[in-house]
Amino acid sequence: IVAFGTSAPELFTSVTANLGGYPGISVGNVVGSNIANVLMVIGLSAIIAPVLIDRKEVRVDTWVMVGATVAMSVAAWAGVLPFWAAVGMIAAIIGYVVYQYKASRIEVEEDEEAEPLPGNPYLLVTVGIATLVIGAEILVQGAVAGGRALGVPEAVIGMTVIAFGTSLPELMACVAAARKGQSDMIVGGIVGSNIFNILSVMATSAAVKPLVIDPRFFAFDVPVVLAVTALFTVFLLLIGRIGRVAGALMAVAYLIFTVAQYGGVADLAVAAAN
C-alpha cells in the first residue's frame, strides 16, 4: 500500500508525459525513479539507521522486481513498449497484488477499532487525484520548457529532475521509517515501488499510447538500473543488511550518476554502441 501510494506521482507524470508527446520523460521518470529509490532513498535511510532485511520475507518480491527490470530492459532493447506487452505487464501487477493480499492477510484483533479519518474519504481521494493530475501536467510542461531553455534532452530531464521529484514521497516515507527503526517498511516500500513503477507506471503509459524508447536508455541508463537492481538483490537475498557505510556509498553513487547525466557520459555510451 505504501509503495503504490508513493508511486502515484510517477504514474500520473509518466502517463501525462507520454500523452503529451514526451516519451523520453515518461521512460526516464521510471528508470530514474528506480535508480533513485535504491541509491538515494535506501542509501540515505541506511545512513540514518542500518536497514535490516528479512531475506525469507522478501524473496518472492525480490524476484518479481528482478523479472520486471529484465522485462523493461527487453523493451528498451526493442525500442518500443507496445500495447500488447503493456497489457501483459498490467495483468502481472494485478496478479502480484492478488498474491500479496492472499499471502499477507492480517487478522485484526476484535477489540482493535480503526481510527476514523477526518473528513469525507471519498472527497479526499477525489481531491488528491485531481491535484496529482494538475501537478503532473505542470511538472511535465515546466520541465520540458526548462530543459529546452538549457539545451538539456528530455530524457535527461526525466532521469534526473522529474525522477528525483517523483521519488520524494518514497524518500520522506523511508526516512520517517528509518527514524523509527522500521526496516521492513523501508525495504517493502522500495521493492514494491520499483515493481509498481515498471509493471504499472510504464505499462499504463504504453497502454494509452505506444511508448517509444530512445536508444540512449538501452546504451547507458538500462545497464545502470540493471546493475543497481543486481546490487540491491545481493543485499536483499544474501547479505541481509545495509549498513551506514554501504548507504553512504550508495548515496555518493547516485550523485555520480546524476552528474554523469549532464556530463555527456550517456552520449558517449550511445556513440560507442553505434
Count of structural domains, the chain: 1
Q: What are phi and psi of 81, to 5 degrees?
A: -110, 100
Is residue 109 assigned to a domain?
no
| 12 domain residue, yes or no | yes
**3-class DSSP state for residue 263?**
coil
Q: Judge whether 145 lies within some domain.
A: yes
Q: Residue 107 falls within a domain, yes or no?
A: no
The residue with greater pLDDT, 169 or 202, is 202
Average pLDDT value for residue range 69-77 = 92
Q: How confident is the model at residue 15 (pLDDT cuts 50, 70, 90)?
A: confident
Domain that holds residue 251: 2-102+121-273
Task: Quickly count: other Cβ atoms within 10 Å of residue 175's Cβ.
Answer: 16
pLDDT in tens, 233-260: 999 999 989 999 999 999 999 999 998 8
pLDDT for residue 129 is more than 80: no
Residue 259's Cβ-side half-sphere holds a number of Cα atoms within 13 Å equal to 6
Q: What is the pLDDT of residue 8?
A: 73
| 95 found inside a domain | yes
66 lies in some domain: yes
Domain containing 46 — which CATH number? 1.20.1420.30
Distance, CA of 121 to CA of 94 (rounded, Å): 24
pLDDT band at 179 (very low <50, low <70, confident <90, very high): very high
- Whole-model pTM: value is 0.86
Q: What's the distance, CA 161 to chain centroid?
A: 14
- Residue 45 belongs to a domain: yes
Q: Is 154 a domain residue?
A: yes
Residue 14 has pLDDT above 80, yes or no: yes
Mind listing the pLDDT tens digit for each residue in 87-105? Answer: 999 999 999 988 888 776 6
Q: What is the residue type of 163? A: A
